[in-house]
Structure 1
Amino acid sequence: MTDFTVNWPTAYPKLDVTAEFRTFDEDFLVSEITNRKLHESGPHLYLQIEKRGANTQWLARQLANHAKLDLKDVGYAGLKDRHAVTRQWFSLPIKNTEPDLTHLFSKEEFTLLAKGYYGVKLKRGALGGNAFRIVLRNVQGDQASINQRLELIRNQGVPNYFGEQRFGHDFENLKQAQHLFETGKRPRNRQKASMYMSAARSYLFNNMLAKRIEENCWDTPINGEVFGFAGSLRGFIQENTSEERTRLREQRIHPSCALWGKGDSLSQTDLLALEQEQAQRFPVLAAGLEKQGMKQERRATRMLLPDLFWHWLDDSTLVLRFNLASGYFATSVLRELGVITQAQRDIENESLE
């Protein structure tokens, strides 16, 4: 069995800073940003729900039960934390009449914020991004240095790592992916199979990004570069035109690394060699993703936070606000501030994306 690690380098020098996050549910607020204009009628009912103390899949089951639907009919764009306050969109098909959800929303942990109608089911990844409000408590470290680091992050961004939670507690998702690839036996639950393959793909990407950080080229192009856009899985080959250099300087495009899968890579020369080297370190994962039919795609190496704002409630309590594209991780921001740990609340391992 492969020995997995998440000891990847940071982009900026380590700060002598420690802090805790998610001490209380209210310390971690996530609101989905929708890019759809809802209507007054339509075949699918969209509900914006604020929840606490419940994860996305559990609430989806509750909605299915109350609306007398199959669970697969309930749509949502992404997984959100149980131990947080989250504002998330769900969709339900309207078969005859709108379901009566009064009993569900009479519970304190669920609040209906808005509703509307749309023509199709809400699918995974179909959102404009997520807005975060995170409170860091018991902050220990020089406040001026923290402010300077936050200014740097706002101007230059951070490496676009997948969060450690993607890999499961004690790397369980990666271990299951390796088992799937070695035996060819998929779990009956298709969602679990997808989660395992996604973990393997994310792990290879993080190692490629880590190598670029070590070589000081995570936010600058190298020979054979493939540029991408925030939140996009596509890329285009480096052309070295003046227009391209302007777009890079203005941070409208970003360097990228491969999301591994079958098919020829867009990367060439130096970047291709770097990606292949990291994939070859984990041959079971790389070959398994290809055999399972995952298509090779791209992911930007840089995550920008131009709307990052912060304020101090007191000398040891810091509030951060920022927006992220879908599939980007808040923990990738926190790791550039210092040793920021999750408060000990017997919290299960869940998604922070």
Structure 2
Amino acid sequence: MTESELLGPRAHGEPCGSAVLKAVAEDFQVDEVLDIPLAGEGEHLWLWVEKRNLNTEEAARRIARAAGVPLKLISYAGLKDRQALTRQWFSLHLPGKSDPDLAAAEDEGLRILKRQRHSRKLQRGAHSANGFRLRLTRLTGDPEQLEARLQRIRQRGIPNYFGAQRFGFDGGNIHEARHFAQQGRFPEQRNRRSRLLSAARSLIFNRLLAERVAAGSWDRAQPGDLLAFTDSRSFFPAGVEECSDPRLAALDLHPTGPLWGRGESPAAGASQALEQSAAGGEALLRDWLVEAGMEHERRILRLPIGGLTWHYPAPDILQLEFVLPSGCFATALVRELVELAEQTDTACGF
């Protein structure tokens, strides 16, 4: 499956040029933002870890081996890129034990930058955001056009598509999910099951968002929508009055789309009909998600880009810095700006 099949139309027009992302790991840097004050004592050891060209799960396995504990005692808030330079938190459950020697886990691909005790383990999804520093190299394009596009993105945000990497190489996760759905069964391995169910939900969301982008309604509310604030998982219905809420124009409040699960979409009117239609286009996956017992959730359709700044370290290099809520994809921003000359696995963490 191609990227256009997995995502949808761009909101801000055709790419302004082309570039390479991730020529080296340092071109894609991610810092987890975790607003949790650590107690300094407790039976959980928290580690601030820098990893290079190493995925989160392999980093966890290294830490577990070095600490001499089962992998199930290692926790992390979210998955981070392999082909990147990332910094994120891990926690180890060590009741009644002193801090272990973790030197065996460290090399040029993994460094432990900080250690601190806390009373609780690190929960999945506990991080509030991710900070990014991206460097686009071998850049081609008109600088004035690029400047105008970046200003537009900063002012209006972008469609909050799930990135192509969510779906695996050539959409492999979707092919696999459809295979299980056709057989009416689920993977036995927990991680594999989670990965495929997540890919199926993400595809239905992207289908709905693509319809809203094509209609020009991805960044504005309409009666029947369900609205949510940028960093909130709760939502409320939009009537005529709510559709003119000034917080929509300020990019604090957004229309949402479905993360499919049991029950009908709580949207109403034309919004509900469009969501039902998008899910109906993937009826096999829709019914599979319901059978899996997934609960209906919501995701904002418009993604505001926090603190977006940019500069040119060299004429053919553009460096971007910004912050995104957890679960959102930095490549969705890059896609609205340039065409990538080399598509690679990139994610913002989720």
- TM-superposed deviation, 1:197: 0.3
Structure 2: where are the runs of 5+ without partners?
none
Question: Match for residue 31 of structure 1?
Answer: 31
1:59–1:181 Cα change, 3 Å: same
When normalised by structure 1's length, the TM-score is 0.93
- TM-superposed deviation, 1:108: 2.4
Question: Match for residue 173 of structure 2?
Answer: 173
Question: Match for residue 60 of structure 1?
Answer: 60
Asked whether the 8 Å contact 1:234–1:299 carries over to 2, the reply is: no
1:172 counterpart SS class:
helix
The residue type equivalent to 1:308 in the other structure is L
- TM-superposed deviation, 1:251: 2.1
1:236-251 equivalences under 5 Å are 236-241=236-241, 245-251=245-251
Tell me whether 279-288 or 185-194 shows the greater mean CA deviation.
185-194
2:111 counterpart SS class:
strand
Asked whether the 8 Å contact 1:56–1:81 carries over to 2, the reply is: yes
Tell me whether 204-213 or 98-107 shows the greater mean CA deviation.
98-107
Cα offsets for 1:207-238 (capped at 9, x unmatched): 10000011110001123111012244332111
Question: Match for residue 319 of structure 2?
Answer: 319
Asked whether the 8 Å contact 1:231–1:299 carries over to 2, the reply is: no
1:140–1:350 Cα change, 3 Å: closer
Asked whether the 8 Å contact 2:130–2:348 carries over to 1, the reply is: no
Question: Match for residue 43 of structure 1?
Answer: 43
Alignment partners' CA distance in 2, 1:231 and 1:302: 12
The residue type equivalent to 2:92 in the other structure is L
The residue type equivalent to 2:30 in the other structure is V
Cα offsets for 1:248-282 (capped at 9, x unmatched): 22222101111111023220001001111111111
Asked whether the 8 Å contact 1:236–1:266 carries over to 2, the reply is: no
Question: Match for residue 220 of structure 2?
Answer: 220
Question: Match for residue 103 of structure 2?
Answer: 103
Question: Match for residue 113 of structure 1?
Answer: 113
Matched, 1:291 2:281: no
Alignment partners' CA distance in 1, 2:240 and 2:247: 11
- TM-superposed deviation, 1:172: 1.3
Alignment partners' CA distance in 2, 1:265 and 1:35: 32
The residue type equivalent to 1:238 in the other structure is A
Tell me whether 98-107 or 287-296 shows the greater mean CA deviation.
98-107
- TM-superposed deviation, 1:75: 0.3
Question: Match for residue 281 of structure 1?
Answer: 281
Aligned residue pairs, count: 348
Alignment partners' CA distance in 1, 2:242 and 2:258: 25
Alignment partners' CA distance in 2, 1:253 and 1:303: 10
1:323 counterpart SS class:
strand
The residue type equivalent to 1:15 in the other structure is P
Alignment partners' CA distance in 2, 1:54 and 1:18: 27
Question: Match for residue 130 of structure 1?
Answer: 130
Tell me whether 168-177 or 233-242 shows the greater mean CA deviation.
233-242
Alignment partners' CA distance in 2, 1:94 and 1:148: 52
1:233–1:178 Cα change, 3 Å: farther
Percent identical: 37
1:185-196 equivalences under 5 Å are 185-196=185-196
Asked whether the 8 Å contact 2:204–2:279 carries over to 1, the reply is: yes
- TM-superposed deviation, 1:242: 6.5
Asked whether the 8 Å contact 1:159–1:301 carries over to 2, the reply is: yes
When normalised by structure 2's length, the TM-score is 0.94
- TM-superposed deviation, 1:329: 0.2
Asked whether the 8 Å contact 1:160–1:300 carries over to 2, the reply is: yes
- TM-superposed deviation, 1:185: 2.8
The residue type equivalent to 2:310 in the other structure is W
Alignment partners' CA distance in 2, 1:309 and 1:351: 20
Tell me whether 294-303 or 332-341 shows the greater mean CA deviation.
332-341
- TM-superposed deviation, 1:181: 1.9
- Ranges of 4+ aligned residues in structure 1 off by more than 6 Å: none
Cα offsets for 1:169-202 (capped at 9, x unmatched): 1211111211222223322210110110000000
Asked whether the 8 Å contact 1:224–1:271 carries over to 2, the reply is: yes
- TM-superposed deviation, 1:340: 2.1
1:7–1:206 Cα change, 3 Å: closer
Cα offsets for 1:31-72 (capped at 9, x unmatched): 000110012101211100011121110110111111122111
- TM-superposed deviation, 1:7: 5.4
Alignment partners' CA distance in 1, 2:301 and 2:85: 29
2:171 counterpart SS class:
helix
2:49 counterpart SS class:
strand
The residue type equivalent to 1:55 in the other structure is N
Asked whether the 8 Å contact 1:232–1:299 carries over to 2, the reply is: no
- TM-superposed deviation, 1:289: 0.5
1:139 counterpart SS class:
strand
Asked whether the 8 Å contact 1:308–1:320 carries over to 2, the reply is: yes
1:106–1:278 Cα change, 3 Å: closer
Alignment partners' CA distance in 1, 2:102 and 2:190: 32
1:336 counterpart SS class:
helix
- TM-superposed deviation, 1:246: 2.2
